[in-house]
């Protein structure tokens, strides 16, 4: 029996890790049943312990092979003692193999995650691209949606891996990389790729894997922006917008300062979007703003744009404009400072 176990162990050691774990469990169960049968024959059928059932012998075999040895069931015949010795030796070998295989699996999983080669089980937002634009996008997402689960996809492993998000290393145009990043379960995709052709390729691949994906992407050229929209990108952020902002920095610098302030949640003011619910339909803009003020007394809300469900956009809407379900209201949320409160008083 020991030679059989040695042959089994040698074969198991040559198997892949996950298969080895499964086969080790199967071997443990089979050998437990064999030991229980031999113990039953030695101690019950041909021995004095007639009160023991076969289930009790299985219990004895498992406890003995697991090297626990409670001592509530012990052999009383010579053959039963021989079976016990063999079971202990086999148990130590099998149990050690099981623990080492389990440790290998955890170690390989940890190493793959550290190297960015693992698989993300579930992601809410996938961010693709290795640049500061991506890092700023991730930071802003975490400020506004703290509980969101983000996966960052990049082609090369960074020198300092990000600690606050899962990351995947691989070709973002490859289906397998996107699958490992959790694209199938993701709700949104953010593309910070600086190459338009690569961005279009990624969008088409991602759309193939997840038809309902909401996608936001950079575009360096107007033609690329048009193609990205046709490919299914929800929001395209064109690079030419930076040109307008640079020009504004010359003749209206405070406008640039304002945009810098309101486009991030870490400043004193922030641009927010509010979708009108069914229970809010029919109310005036003034009433909606009053409700917001009542729930957040430490901030002021200034409406700047109303995007109606029909597609029309009203800038600087008046207080008496009636809102409908599905309309989206863009407001500046300004946090009141102590000076503001004193001035109001």
CATH class, domain 268-344, is alpha beta
**For the chain, what are the domain ranges?**
2-115, 125-242, 268-344
CATH number of 2-115: 1.10.287.70
Q: Are 105 and 22 in contact (CB under 8 A)?
A: no
Q: Are 170 and 119 in contact (CB under 8 A)?
A: no
pLDDT confidence of residue 110:
62
CATH number of 125-242: 3.40.50.720
Q: Residue 177 corresponds to which tokens in the numbers above?
A: 């990389």
Burial class (CB in 10 A: 0-12, 13-18, 19+), 43: buried
Neighbours of 219 (CB within 10 A): 24
pLDDT confidence of residue 208:
92
Whose tokens are 């991506």? That residue is 134
pLDDT 10s digits, 241-266 = 888 888 988 999 998 888 888 888 88
Cα distance between residue 247 and residue 255, in whole Å: 11
Cα distance between residue 212 and residue 208, in whole Å: 10
Angle ∠(37,38,39) on CA atoms, nearest 5: 90
To the nearest 10°, report the CA torsion of 12, 16, 17, 21.
-50
Q: What is the DSSP string of 99-151?
A: HHHHHHHHHHHHHHHHHT-S--S--SEEEE-SSHHHHHHHHHHHHH-TT--EE
Whose tokens are 């950079």? That residue is 218
Cα distance between residue 104 and residue 110, in whole Å: 10
**Residue 130: closest CA among 105, 166, 95, 157:** 157
| C-alpha distance from residue 281 to each of 294, 326, 327, 328, 332 (Å) | 18, 9, 9, 11, 21
Q: Are 160 and 179 in contact (CB under 8 A)?
A: no
Tens-digit pLDDT profile for the chain (345 aa)?
555 556 665 665 566 666 777 777 888 888 889 899 999 999 999 999 889 999 999 999 988 888 777 888 889 999 989 999 888 888 888 777 777 777 776 666 665 666 666 788 888 999 999 888 888 898 889 888 888 899 999 888 776 666 678 888 899 999 999 999 999 999 999 999 999 999 999 999 999 999 999 999 999 998 999 999 999 899 999 988 888 888 988 999 998 888 888 888 887 888 899 999 999 999 999 999 999 988 888 888 999 999 998 889 999 999 999 999 999 999 999 886 544 434 443
Helix, coil or strand: residue 76 = coil
pLDDT confidence of residue 67:
76
pLDDT confidence of residue 204:
94
Q: Contacts from 7-16 at CB under 8 Å and sequence distance 24+?
A: 9/93, 9/94, 9/97, 12/97, 13/97
Cα distance between residue 117 and residue 177, in whole Å: 9
CA atoms within 13 A on the CB side of 36: 19
Q: Residue 70 corresponds to which tokens in the numbers above?
A: 């409670």
């Amino acid at each position: 029996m020991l030679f059989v176990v040695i042959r089994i162990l040698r074969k198991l050691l040559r198997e892949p890790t996950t298969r080895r774990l499964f086969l080790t469990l199967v071997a443990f169960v089979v050998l437990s049943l064999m030991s229980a049968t031999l113990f039953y024959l030695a101690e019950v059928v041909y021995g004095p312990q007639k009160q023991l059932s076969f289930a009790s012998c299985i219990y004895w075999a498992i406890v003995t092979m697991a090297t626990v040895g409670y001592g509530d069931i012990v052999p009383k015949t010579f053959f039963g003692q021989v079976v016990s010795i063999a079971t202990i030796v086999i148990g130590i070998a099998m149990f050690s193999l099981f623990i080492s295989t389990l440790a290998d699996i955890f170690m390989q999983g940890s190493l793959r995650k550290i190297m960015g080669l693992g698989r993300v089980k579930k992601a809410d937002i996938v961010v693709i691209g290795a640049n500061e634009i991506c890092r700023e996008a991730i930071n802003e997402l975490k400020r506004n949606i703290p509980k969101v689960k983000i996966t960052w996809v990049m082609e090369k492993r960074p020198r300092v891996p990000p600690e606050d998000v899962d990351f995947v290393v691989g070709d973002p145009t490859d289906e397998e990389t996107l699958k490992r990043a959790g694209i199938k379960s993701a709700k949104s995709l953010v593309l910070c790729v600086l190459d338009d052709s690569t961005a279009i390729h990624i969008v088409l691949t991602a759309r193939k894997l997840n038809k309902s994906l909401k996608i936001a992407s950079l575009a360096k050229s107007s033609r690329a922006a048009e193609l990205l929209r046709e490919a299914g990108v929800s929001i395209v952020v064109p690079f030419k917008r930076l040109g307008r902002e640079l020009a504004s920095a010359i003749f209206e610098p405070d406008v640039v300062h304002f945009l810098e302030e309101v486009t991030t949640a870490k400043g004193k003011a922030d641009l927010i979007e509010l979708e009108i619910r069914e229970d809010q339909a029919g109310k005036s803009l003034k009433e909606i703003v009053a409700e917001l003020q009542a729930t957040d007394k430490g901030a002021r809300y200034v409406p700047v744009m109303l995007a109606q469900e029909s597609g029309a956009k009203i800038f600087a809407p008046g207080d008496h404009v009636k809102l409908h379900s599905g309309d989206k209201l863009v407001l500046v949320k300004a946090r009141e400072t102590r000076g503001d409160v004193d001035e109001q008083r």
